[in-house]
Chain A
Amino acid sequence: MERIQTRRFNTDNLFKGIIYAALILLAVVILVPLLWVVMASFKQNSEFYGSPWTPPQGLYWQNFTDAWTTARMGEFMLNSVITTALSLLLLLIVALPAAYVLSRFSFRGKKALNTMFMGGLFINVNYIVVPIFLMFVDGDKWLRGIGLPPVFLNNIYVLALVYAATALPFTIYLLSGYFITLPKAYEEAAYIDGASNFATMVKIMFPMAKPAIITVILFNFLAFWNEYVIAMTLLSDPKGAKTLPVGLMNLMKAQNAAAQYGRMYAGLVLVMLPTLILYMAVQRKLTQGMTLGGLKG
């Protein structure tokens, strides 16, 4: 009996060892490139020609000033903040009432609307970016035709509207799924107290949906902040406004041509830092939220 137990103990140890080795290997594969980028952002251009593993000779902050001003990353940072904040605000204003009504009211056509939004989950924005772009081209052409300045392309506010609109299916799906689980008694009580539909929704139901709302904000923040295909398409003017990921894309292209390594990695750190800080602050909520939402597209 004792012998069996010690043998079991030994294979157990071996098994544990293999598990730890695998986990640590994966962690290294993820962390090392990230730390490398931070290290590279402090290197001078001449330092990039040796081994990639030599630490920087000093903290070359000039890279960050270059990225911030010369490569306009500071300006793009502001654009990204505005676009992300505005699209989140718009999204919540539009999606919250819709999700509430679609999950807790009964009316004709409700099923059709729910099916329509569910179908939207399968439409990826990248599939339809070309028609959206052409729609704005036509819109601008029409505006010029009647003597007004074009407003649709190269406009971060329009970009925010597109972000909000295309995030609706996922957001409504997630919020409805939460609203449906809340007990009916709250609305009935509010009804007896004579509260209006609007007051019931805003004062009673929305606060109760807080966990779902936080999840929605987190996921969409990451989606909007990181998005680049739509931004690149709709903000096509090289001198015009850009968001951070698009600016970074340009830096990558410039790096290939003119070998501005340090500046590019500094730009990379600037884009990466806000998401990493946010993630560290809310990682528990974010990974818990996934059970709530289930999936993203």
Chain B
Amino acid sequence: MDKHKGRRLFAFLCVAPAVILFIIFMVIPTFNVFRMSLYRWGGFSARRTFIGLENFTRLFQDMKFIQSFQNTVFLVVLVSVITLSLALLFAGILSREKIKGQNFFRVVFYIPNILSVVIISAIFNAIYDPHNGMLNSILALFKPEGAEPVYWLGTQSIVLYSLAGAMIWQAVGYYMVMYMASMASIPEALYESANLEGASRTTQFFRITIPLIWTNIRTTLTFFIISSINLSFMFVKAMTSGGPDGSTEVFLSYMYKQAYTNSAYGYGMAIGVVVFVFSFVLSAIVNAVTRREVMEV
């Protein structure tokens, strides 16, 4: 009996610190995001008025917010489709084909993932620099002398693609290594019998590899969407600060701007609530749409 009690006390002491820290720094702030969104909450003053859902009705008439909504969806869709397809393709190649220097490619492709978003942003600023950037200097080889340089980060119609380029560069290797790990668990015998029956590599990729790691693809897709919402903010903050003229503003950068430069905390948090709801709804949709009968071996 005493031993039992001691065991319970031990369990409590082990779990308590984690639970306390988690509640203070994650549960309460999350709760506060929702609570503050119902208030007019300005800056450092004590002025806080309960206004119900007014922040939300204002939000959906705010053209800048609607633009940040569109930009987020655009970036999330574009970046996840390209990144995950490239990652699958390269993982398929590296795990199925006999490639010289396979390990070298694996190591190199993963490098961007270990770098800070700030570093990647600085690198891409150097790549995209209109006057002596790497990209324009390469393009200049194919263009007539004295042609107007491309303003990768300064043209409204291009800048989102430029951001997407940096985000894809950062993420491909990570997901590639992840898919390689799950592809390694597919039994070799399946490919051998497919070879005997004369199935081409492409057929094998789409009929064996993809279906067998489908569960993994689904999970990564869900996680990738959530992390893209987040990464799009980190890249925007470091590369464009939402410019030119709000054309790269995304959910979280607009939230941050409202909270810090505009001191409209309540309004900012209403955006936070929309982000929470949006990411949950989007994951649920992705989950429902990608549901297939799981193939098992």
Residues of A within 8 A of B (CB): 15-16, 19-20, 22-23, 26-27, 29-34, 36-37, 40, 48-53, 93-95, 97-98, 100-102, 105, 107, 113, 116-117, 120, 122-124, 126-132, 134-135, 137, 161-162, 164-166, 168-169, 172, 197-198, 201, 222, 225-229, 233, 245, 248-249, 252, 264-265, 268, 271-272, 275-276, 278-279, 283, 286-287, 290-291, 294-297
Contacts and interface: CB of A to CB of B under 8 A. Distances in A.
A271 B279 CA distance: 32
B26 A123 contact: yes
Nearest to A244: B116
Contacts of B129: 52
Interface in B254-279: 255-256, 259-260, 265, 268-269, 272, 275-276, 279
Interface string B15-58: 10111011011111110110010000000100000000000000
A290 to B, nearest CB: 6
Contacts of A283: 107, 110
Interface residues of B, number: 88
For A137, A249, A278, which residue has the most chain B Cβ atoms within 10 angstroms? A249
Contacts of B173: 30
A267 B295 CA distance: 50
Nearest to B93: A19
Contacts of A50: 132
26 contacts: A26-B105, A26-B172, A27-B108, A30-B111, A52-B126, A52-B129, A98-B14, A101-B14, A113-B19, A116-B19, A117-B18, A122-B279, A123-B30, A128-B272, A130-B33, A134-B265, A165-B24, A168-B18, A172-B18, A248-B119, A272-B115, A275-B116, A286-B110, A287-B106, A291-B182, A296-B227
A57 to B, nearest CB: 16
B234 A127 contact: no
Contacts of B265: 130, 134
B49 to A, nearest CB: 16
B92 to A, nearest CB: 10
B22 A36 contact: no
A192 B118 CA distance: 54
A98 B23 CA distance: 14
B29 A128 contact: yes
Question: Would you call the interface of chain A mostly helix, strand, loop, or mixed?
Answer: helix
Contacts of B276: 127
A166 B30 CA distance: 12
A36 to B, nearest CB: 6
A53 B15 CA distance: 56
A290 B14 contact: no
A94 B109 contact: no
Given A172-B18, A252-B118, 7 more contacts: A36-B126, A52-B129, A53-B134, A105-B11, A161-B21, A197-B6, A268-B123
B114 A132 contact: no
Interface in B132-181: 132-134, 137, 169, 172-173, 177-178, 181
Given A33-B134, A275-B115, A27 B226 contact: no
Contact of A271 (B99, B119, B230): B119
Contacts of A127: 30, 33, 230, 252, 272, 275-276
Given A30-B109, A127-B33, A197-B7, A36 B134 contact: yes
B97 A131 contact: no
A168 B24 CA distance: 12
Contact of A297 (B125, B132, B227): B227
Contacts of A168: 18, 21-22, 26
Interface string B211-233: 00000000110010011011001
B66 interface: no
A51 B114 contact: no
Contact of A51 (B17, B137, B181): B137
B15 to A, nearest CB: 5
B20 to A, nearest CB: 9
A128 B275 CA distance: 11
A40 B126 CA distance: 10
A248 B173 CA distance: 24
Contact of B15 (A102, A129, A272, A279): A102
Contact of A222 (B108, B114, B125, B269): B114
A93 B133 CA distance: 47
Contact of A276 (B32, B111, B181, B234): B111
Nearest to A120: B26
B199 interface: no
Closest 5 CB pairs of A and B: A226-B116, A97-B14, A98-B18, A165-B25, A131-B29
Contacts of B99: 19-20, 23
A228 B111 contact: no
Contact of B108 (A15, A30, A265, A294): A30
